Amino acid sequence: MAEGREIHPAKRGMTGKIRVPGDKSVSHRSVMFSAIAKGAVRVKNFLEAADCLSTAACMRALGASVERREDDSLRVTGVGLHGLKEPAAILDAGNSGTTLRLLLGILAAQPFFSALAGDASLSRRPMGRVVEPLVRMGAAIRGRDANRFLPLAVLPREGRLRAMDYESPVASAQVKSAILLAGLYADGETTVEEPALSRDHTERMLGAFGARIRREDATVTIEPVDELFSPEEIIVPGDISSAAYWLVAASLIEGSDILLEDVGVNPTRTGILDVLSAMGADVTLSNERESGGEALADIRVRSASLRGTSFGGAIIPRLIDEIPILAVAALFAAGDTVISGAAELRVKETDRLQAVTTELNRLVPGAVEATQDGMIIHGGRAPSPAVCRTYDDHRMAMSLAVAGLAGEGVTLDAPACVNISYPSFYQTMDRLVQ
């Protein structure tokens, strides 16, 4: 059994400057899109974490060159849109749903056979919502039972995929991205319409690579192209999902004042800032700028008295990964917080709705009620020390760590899962609370 980790209550406010790791979503896409483009690109601030390394390994296996440079940047030399080769072994996505789903969009159009697998957690996550639209475009994908669980086999495709107009039942950047990538290889324009706008990193970055994309509200259309061309450099902004833990920790721990530098503030990702503002958090942005189509800013957060709020609907895709840490904020806030429209959390690395409910109730019994698509959190009651499960889910581990810092401490059963997205999380935490 993995060794547990004790998180002790913060004895004083957290102060200092932080540079959070590179954005996970942008890191994945920077390597994947560079691999299917012509030319070489220097990727700076790439997230050196397990999920993104899975993407890099898969693209190497498909023929691209991905090299670590002495200055800690990556140099990716692509093979072009039609230059991928049949992998010699099964492509292993590890724990990364982004790797798997986006790669399916590319592999669906290839004239060779490929097989994909992942770890135990990823193998429990149904892939039908991505596989089904790709099959409608003409892909031949075989999986384990009707829910298309891993492993998956993608059969060779002769000729172009069929273009289509797809009305997605969910607002999912991964579903949208897989279809758009397949659309690069289609016989006409492919359109995806979502019920609400999901993260748009794919659209922004493909545009930087020369793809022809049109966007209107929650609808995006892509035209097929003969080739993509890499920019000379991609700078990956700091991940707001990683910054979220410090935004909440500094808000909750009295006397805190933290500056988070060079954080990505893409409008499709800043729902957490809106919710924290509604809760009364003291958060301000400065030094706002843009790099490679992505907005960046420095974010200052100071401790404040939080109050409960309600959120759901169109904002959920803008903060889906931040709901566990927002639930922690709600646990300490005065009054009730109601979260709705978040059923997507049930098919993440674990059923996060149930996991958050179970583990926060260990800290404050009866504080959290799970609903079908969200939760109700009764805030403001004093927590107790507890031993909590992480479910080998990085976002659960970091959210519970913040709960321990702001409360009376917590022991995590499997803390190492933070390596999925934030390998230096505990070192940064220790520095801030010393």
| Residues 76-109 as b or e (16 or more Cβ within 10 Å = b) | bbbbbbeebeebeeebbbbbbbbbbbbbbbbbbb
Measuring CA to CA, which residue among 50, 129, 147, 126 is closest to residue 93? 50
- CA pair distance 246, 373, nearest whole angstrom: 26
For residue 3, count other CB atoms closer than 10 A to its CB. 9
CB 168 within 8 A of CB 174: no
Q: Is residue 119 annotated as a catalytic residue, yes or no?
A: no
DSSP 8-state code for residue 14: -
**SS3 state at 87:** coil
Angle between helix axes 394-406 and 352-363 (nearest 10 degrees) is: 20
Full strand arrangement of the beta sheet holding 410-412:
5-7, 410-412, 386-388
CB 5 within 8 A of CB 48: no
**SS3 state at 136:** helix
What is the C-alpha R_g of the chain?
A: 21
Catalytic residue among 92, 321, 392, 393: 321
- CA pair distance 1, 4, nearest whole angstrom: 9
DSSP 8-state code for residue 382: P
| Bridge partners of residue 271, in order along the sequence | none
* DSSP run (H or E) holding 166: strand 165-167
- CA pair distance 93, 87, nearest whole angstrom: 13
Cis status, amide bond into 415, omega within 30 of 0: no
- CA pair distance 412, 66, nearest whole angstrom: 35
For the CA atoms of 70, 74, 77, 78, what is the dihedral angle to 10 degrees?
170
Sign of CA dihedral 201, 204, 208, 213: positive
DSSP 8-state code for residue 49: S
Annotated catalytic residues are 321
